[in-house]
Amino acid sequence: MTISSGAIGVFDSGVGGLSVLHHIRQALPNQCLIYVADSAHVPYGGKSPDYIGQRSHTLTRFLIERGADAIVIACNTATAAAATGLRSQFGIPIVGMEPAVKPAVAATQSGVVGVLATIGTLESARFAALLDKYAGEIEIVTQGCPGLVEQVERGELSGARTRELIERYTAPLLARGADILILGCTHYPFLAPLIREVVGANITLVDTGAAVAHQLQRRIHSELPHRLQGEASAQFFTSGDAEQAARIMSLLWSGNVAVRQLPQAFL
């Protein structure tokens, strides 16, 4: 297999990080992208920080071996569990995710912000620190969303079961008066059209993918200026079933993609 030179490596517990990859492609159109969906281990939300840290280290090592000189952790849960450790071990730009609490707090009119996220993200020390830093007098109501990641992994973006879960998880936040909902998992932007149907047009949905892409763009401009121009390409890998991954990723990427399974050493 061809090894890429000067690529941007992106990984997530599954296919959700493709929502971030879309923003990266828009911000950096002339870059080689390598995406890994760790779908054999999805979801990360219910797993221990040590387990997530181990998988994150393994995937980062794979991406660097493939030629990545910048890494995006396209997963809130993995960022909380592993970003600090990865930055201490690898001397390249590593950009992570975090729920967009700061802009949501600044924008709310009702004084109540809702957060939809995985249990792993909501229970992390990193998220607790984020709340302490930005909440102030604003009420932030959190809601764990078991099952939503799995719906996206199956490509079930608009069915009855997905709608039922969204109705269940958004209802308590709306009842508390939230006028902004933070999509605190990279899988959730793919559900945004259905969430919008459920919650109505007056509720603002906040996704952090664009902010992450802009942060990556800044890091590359300042730290890797030698490769601001390159050859646009994208490679896709999975730790799960490659055929199933190709079907779902093609749906979410809005174009046919070929997906290869990770080498055995990285499974």
The percentage of the chain sitting over the pLDDT mark of 70, rounded to a whole number, equals 97
Summarize pLDDT for 124-175 with one digit per residue, the tens.
999 999 999 998 899 999 999 999 999 999 999 999 999 999 999 999 999 9
Angle between helical axes of 49-65 and 76-89 (0-180°, round to 10): 60
Please give the CATH architecture assigned to the domain spanning 101-207: 3-Layer(aba) Sandwich (3.40)
Q: Count the residues in the chain.
A: 267
Please, which pLDDT band fits residue 111 given cuts at 50, 70 and 90? very high
Active site residue 75: yes
Residue 46: the pLDDT is 84
What CATH class is the domain 7-97+210-266? alpha beta
Would you say 37 and 59 are in contact if contact means Cβ atoms under 8 Å apart? no
Helix (H) or strand (E) segment spanning residue 33: strand 32-37
3-class state of residue 59 by DSSP: helix
What gap in Å lies between CA 33 and CA 4, rounded to an integer? 9
With a cut of 70, say whether residue 264 has pLDDT above it.
yes
Measured CA to CA, the distance from residue 22 to residue 38 in angstroms comes to: 18
Q: Which of 72, 173, 185, 199 is catalytic?
A: 185
Mean pLDDT of the chain: 95
Residue 2 predicted with pLDDT over 60: no
DSSP calls for 101-142: HHHHHHH-SSSEEEEEE-HHHHTSHHHHHHHHHH-TTSEEEE
Q: Which of 7, 75, 100, 116 is catalytic?
A: 75
Query: What would the two tokens of residue 242 be?
Result: 């490659």
Is 185 known to be catalytic? Answer: yes
Digit-coded pLDDT (tens) for 205-252: 999 999 999 999 999 999 988 765 667 899 999 999 999 999 999 999
pLDDT in tens, 84-109: 999 999 999 999 999 999 999 999 99
> How much is the pLDDT for 190?
98
Residue 135 has a pLDDT of 87
Q: pLDDT at position 228, please?
A: 58
Domain definitions of the chain by residue range: 7-97+210-266, 101-207
Q: pTM for this one?
A: 0.94
Identical fold for domains 7-97+210-266 and 101-207, yes or no, is: yes
CA separation for the pair 40, 106 (Å, rounded): 38
